[in-house]
Amino acid sequence: MIMSLIKNEFLLEIKSSNNLFYITFFSLSCLMLSVFSFPPSELNEIIILSGFFWIIIALASIKLIENSFVREREEGIYDLIYTSSADNYLVFLAKLITFSLILLGVQLLIFTIYSLISTTIEIDKIFQILILCVVSNIGLIGLGILIYLMTSLSSTRSFLFPLILFPIIVPLLIHSSNIFIALCLGMEISFYTESMVLLLTFAIMATVLGVNFFERQLFLLLQRLKLLFVYKFRYFSK
């Protein structure tokens, strides 16, 4: 069941290819700017690259989640999700896996291109960095989905969603950046064990919260949307 849901999510994202193109283009453009923004020092380059990279990924995840849910809302997919035979927690997990893999694809592309124009990221370190990205993506996307559902009925949701999300994910971004720097500098695992434990905690927390609260948040959203529709219908029919 979950594999078919993941397939459907991927197909929906592929159909809206403009969304994927803008996210990828935005990520690459911002990161390429960072290449020319630091003095010629390997340590400075790694620190600035790490900061740029995780801020870009946070912004890309916000755009990915927001565009996906806006499209589903406009096409009336919310009702289909809630009334389908699939358990709603499986729908959440499908979205979590799909969005995380899309972000991972963008990250892999960034690292591949960057490793060709700079010696900061060596090819043999990319696998370790991608494992870091998988854990970080789960935390980012999981919390992002829940917070978007909480703010999606607000008229200022495009402003409110990142405003609420960013303070929550700041620790995740800081620890992801610390591990990224440690990996690029070839430090021993003991230097970033604590940060990795905190990232895993974030990922597990985001998944558990999503599995337990996604259905409730979706139900409340549908309920409010229907009440809002009834109110508008009565108002404009007077």
The tens digit of pLDDT for each residue in 41-59 reads 555 667 777 888 888 888 8
3-state secondary structure 114-145: HHHHCCCCCHHHHHHHHHHHHHHHHHHHHHHH
Q: In angstroms, rounded to a whole number, what is the distance separating the alpha carbons of residues 133 and 107?
A: 8
pLDDT digits (tens, 9 = 90+) for 76-117: 665 555 555 557 778 888 889 999 998 898 888 877 777 776
**DSSP for the chain, written as a single string:** -HHHHHHHHHHHHHHTHHHHHHHHHHHHHHHHHHHTSS-S-HHHHHHHHHHHHHHHHHHHHHHHHHHHHHHHHHTTHHHHHHHSSS-HHHHHHHHHHHHHHHHHHHHHHHHHHHHHH-SSS-GGGHHHHHHHHHHHHHHHHHHHHHHHHHHTTSTTHHHHHHHHHHHHHHHHHHHHHHHHHHHHTT--GGGTHHHHHHHHHHHHHHHHHHHHHHHHHHHHHHHHHHHHHHHHHHHHT-
In the predicted model, is pLDDT for residue 141 greater than 90?
yes
Residue 190 burial class via C-beta count within 10 angstroms: exposed 0-12, middle 13-18, buried 19 and up = exposed
Residue 115 burial class via C-beta count within 10 angstroms: exposed 0-12, middle 13-18, buried 19 and up = middle
Q: In angstroms, rounded to a whole number, what is the distance separating the alpha carbons of residues 223 and 231?
A: 12
In the predicted model, is pLDDT for residue 231 greater than 50?
no
Measured in residues, the chain has a length of 238
pLDDT at residue 55, rounded to an integer: 85
Q: What distances in angstroms separate CA 190 from CA 75, 101, 131, 187, 223, one per listed residue?
A: 49, 28, 17, 8, 49
In the predicted model, is pLDDT for residue 237 greater than 50?
no
Mean pLDDT of the chain: 77
pLDDT at residue 212, rounded to an integer: 83
- CA of residue 128 relative to chain centroid, distance: 19
pLDDT at residue 109, rounded to an integer: 81
pLDDT digits (tens, 9 = 90+) for 63-76: 888 888 877 777 66
Read off the pLDDT band of 17 (50, 70, 90).
Answer: low
Is-above-0.85 flag for pTM? no
pLDDT at residue 230, rounded to an integer: 38
Read off the pLDDT band of 204 (50, 70, 90).
Answer: very high
Where in the chain are the domains? Answer: 2-236
In the predicted model, is pLDDT for residue 60 greater than 80?
yes
